[in-house]
Structure 1
Amino acid sequence: MIKISRSKIDLYLECPRCFYLDIQKKIKRPPGFPFNLNNAVDTLLKKEFDRHREAGTKHPIQIEFDVDAIPANHPMIDKWRQSMQHGVIFKDIERDLHIYGGIDDLWINSKGEYHVVDYKATAKDTPVTELADWTAGYKRQMEVYQWLLRKNGLKVSNTAYFVYCTGDNTTENFNNKIEFHSHIIPYEGNDSWISQTINDLHSCLSNPRIPSKNDTCQYCNFFGKLYSELVKEKNGNRE
């Protein structure tokens, strides 16, 4: 089976050529920088929510923002969080695709519906209290998780939650700590686009021809120009 992660679905939507080269030719884009501070915030939040998960109680931020949910004590939660080793998995037997993604958290409300939860951390002059236009990728991320969990038989609410932690960079002193302002931001997901996208990316992978260069993709443009310059240099040397 071909493994397709949640991030690879996003890559296909951004650039089918880069997606094809990544999956079929193992030619990957240069890796980005690791977000170690963000990962530290994720780890600490998971520890906090896990204590309330074990106790069956609400986290204080859920009380503060009047969220009808507690951390879900689902037996698969640990595996579903491990995006590299396991994650939430759906095996599309018809297309021979192994589709997966790792969630940050899962909450359950009084109706027995599950809410997908993602932790985000940033630093700004003012706290993030709503989703901006540039967060389209975050929204798709949530919708893929909702779709995967539904494929695993869960009753999933359309309402997902971002726990958004904004580091305050306006303070006068560091003193070996950053003060964070945390907000819960609800998002109404719609996963209706995913099935067609899975069908389209499967067709892309099944085609023996590499997709055409995407003029809006900075990676396609960069490597296209680099190749052109190398060809020019080689031809110049021959002359």
Structure 2
Amino acid sequence: MSQYYTAQRIRGLYEPDSKEPFKLSRSKIDLFLECPRCFYLDRRLGVGRPPGFPFALNSAVDALLKQEFDVYRANGAKHPLIEKYGVDARPVSHKDLDKWRHNFTGVQFLHEPTNLLITGAIDDLWQNSKGEYIVVDYKATAKAEEITKLDKDWHKGYKRQMEIYQWLLRRNGYEVSDTGYFVYCNGKADRESFDGKLEFDVTLIPYKGDSSWVEKTILDIHKCLNDGKIPEAGSDCDYCGYINSVKSKE
């Protein structure tokens, strides 16, 4: 058994009769939208999908970006990327920012009708001249083409991610701009040699979020968890497609 995977968990499972709030992360909300079956198996029965290996390079880019923007935050100054794109914003300090960035805490809100504790860890927080907070998310990849917009199928998950963060901050009583930003780092593979360093093109992509779907989705998740039966798989779930193909060969 891999050290990264436990085939059958017994902790952190949803219990319908429990009075304790059940923690539900942003990524698990996205899992439900992708495949209710995989979500139920994971959160209710303790059988999660086998994980991919950690993206160490992406984590390094994330950490370095946070350090870089924190320098400008401490000085109350605009980052050159913000200046380049003419955005009315600057990195802002907040007493809870470190907690909001941490994967095991994040921004939290107890959804009382369902007793689900919704969580999500943001990458960065800016503020505009109107005093509105701006959610910022870092992304890193290596594509041949320049990345200037979110028009790929997998970008839908990025957009939902942004919208959940906006929803969480609003539920905590903060004024939040509808427009968030993705700091997108695209690794360059056209250099003559590696020389021990990887260079990136960095673009700033605005996205106007619409979090109106979040409330209904939380209610649907609660219904799914309390239904007592395994739901149908998502139509595009590769994991369930694989399992079904294996079963057909047995």
TM-score in terms of structure 2 length: 0.88
C-alpha deviations, 1:138-165, integer Å up to 9, x for none? 0000000000010111100000000011
What amino acid sits opposite 1:217 in the alignment? C
What is the distance in 1 between the residues matched to 2:151 and 2:232? 31
Alpha-carbon shift at residue 228 of structure 1 (Å): 4.9
Please state if 1:181 is matched with 2:201: yes
**What is aligned with 1:75?**
95
Q: Please say if residues 88 and 103 of structure 1, whose CA atoms lie closer than 8 Å, have aligned partners that are also in contact.
A: yes
**What is aligned with 1:121?**
140
**What is aligned with 2:122?**
103
SS at 1:160 equivalent:
strand
Please state if 1:39 is matched with 2:59: yes
Point out the structure with max Rg over C-alpha: 1
Alpha-carbon shift at residue 216 of structure 1 (Å): 3.1
Task: Show the 5 A alignment for 1:1-239.
Answer: 1-84=21-104, 86-134=105-153, 135-229=155-249, 232=250
What amino acid sits opposite 1:124 in the alignment? K
Question: 5+ residue gaps in structure 2?
Answer: 1-20
Q: C-alpha root-mean-square deviation of aligned residues, in Å? A: 1.2
Q: Please say if residues 34 and 234 of structure 2, whose CA atoms lie closer than 8 Å, have aligned partners that are also in contact.
A: no
Q: Please say if residues 126 and 168 of structure 1, whose CA atoms lie closer than 8 Å, have aligned partners that are also in contact.
A: no
What is the distance in 2 between the residues matched to 1:190 and 1:5? 19
What is the distance in 1 between the residues matched to 2:232 and 2:43? 16
Alpha-carbon shift at residue 55 of structure 1 (Å): 1.0
Describe the shift of the 1:72–1:175 C-alpha distance in structure 2 as closer, same or farther (beyond 3 A). Answer: same
Question: 5+ residue gaps in structure 1?
Answer: 233-239
* Structure with higher helix content: 1
What amino acid sits opposite 2:107 in the alignment? V
Which region of structure 1 is more displaced relative to structure 2, 206-215 or 10-19? 206-215
C-alpha deviations, 1:56-77, integer Å up to 9, x for none? 1111111111111111101111
Alpha-carbon shift at residue 117 of structure 1 (Å): 0.2
What is the distance in 1 between the residues matched to 2:206 and 2:235? 35
Alpha-carbon shift at residue 203 of structure 1 (Å): 0.5
* Percent identical residues: 55
What amino acid sits opposite 1:89 in the alignment? Q
